[in-house]
A = this chain, B = another copy of it.
Amino acid sequence: MEQRVTSTSGLSGAQSVDRALSLLSLVSYFGDQGASLSELVDQGGLNKPTTRRLLLALMRSGMLEQDSITRRYFLGEEAYILGTLASRRYGLLQISRDSLTTLSAKTEDTSFLSIQRETSSVCLHREEGTYQIRTHALQAGYRHPLGVGAGSLAILSALQDEEIEAILEANNQLLLAEYPNLGPSQIREDVATTRKTGFALNPGRILANSWAIGLAIHYPDGRPAGALSIAAIDSRMQPARQVELVALMQVEAKKIEARLAHLQPINGRIKRPIIPARPGTRVEGAN
């Protein structure tokens, strides 16, 4: 009745776990406003009873919670605890917080930390600047396809060509549908420019007049751990100031990279596919 992408290696299964965790991840993208059941049904690719059943399981474990009035679903305390316990291995935000504060203090503009998550970038933190005109195109939890936005582009540009192609391929439909100004070919150009100049520039491609500069942060082995970015209105992003900002950001990126190198060095030994196959992905013809 239904076709699934089947795994090739032995001992697969636990599909409901895949679905549940995929839902959990989906909820996380809604951030502070939370997700409603129907939104999750629409975007999660599962039907209502199944979605609800998995949400209940996630709530039983504390990973999610539901607002009893609005009925919306939010990340729960258990998610916070696990993340806190995991942060000794992946404490990029902890390590970067000082740098973000410094950047926003010195530049008066809003700065961000983003990381890669599959074929997207996710904003982990937004550090407010004091300048009166601020762009709100990016907030913690927001996700964009890799290459869309300054930090996102910085991360993409730090990947290997082969990975970049795989990612652009995977995002192809989404890019064409949601970002008419930013097709794969435009992103390929942007990557080239980023590599040449040494920093990523988003000249208002997502929101007019909202410009940003991004700089990748690298693990000791060269893989990108994430990216710093600073956003401002175009008048505050003219070439002369771009150079100033990049210089400040480079100093902070270096600091972060130094601290990253002292983290648990286990990271390099971990099994992890380059582009993990999303399990539960459906093939045409469902239902």
Contact = CB atoms under 8 A, between A and B. Distances in A.
A157 to B, nearest CB: 20
Contacts of A11: 49, 52-53, 56
A271 B13 contact: no
A74 B265 CA distance: 13
| Interface of A, helix, strand, loop or mixed by DSSP | helix
Copies in the complex: 2
A79 interface: yes
Interface string A80-122: 1111111111110100000000000000000000010100001
B77 A13 contact: no
A14 B20 contact: yes
B140 A57 contact: no
Interface residues on A, range: 35 or more
A198 interface: no
Given A13-B53, A79-B82, 4 more contacts: A17-B54, A20-B21, A32-B89, A80-B83
24 contacts: A11-B49, A16-B17, A17-B20, A17-B57, A18-B57, A20-B20, A20-B21, A22-B61, A25-B61, A25-B78, A28-B86, A31-B88, A32-B88, A62-B276, A66-B271, A67-B266, A68-B270, A78-B117, A80-B89, A83-B85, A83-B87, A84-B93, A84-B124, A85-B124
Interface of A: 11-18, 20-22, 24-25, 28, 31-32, 49, 52-54, 56-63, 65-69, 74-91, 93, 115, 117, 122, 124-125, 140-141, 264, 266, 269-272, 276, 279
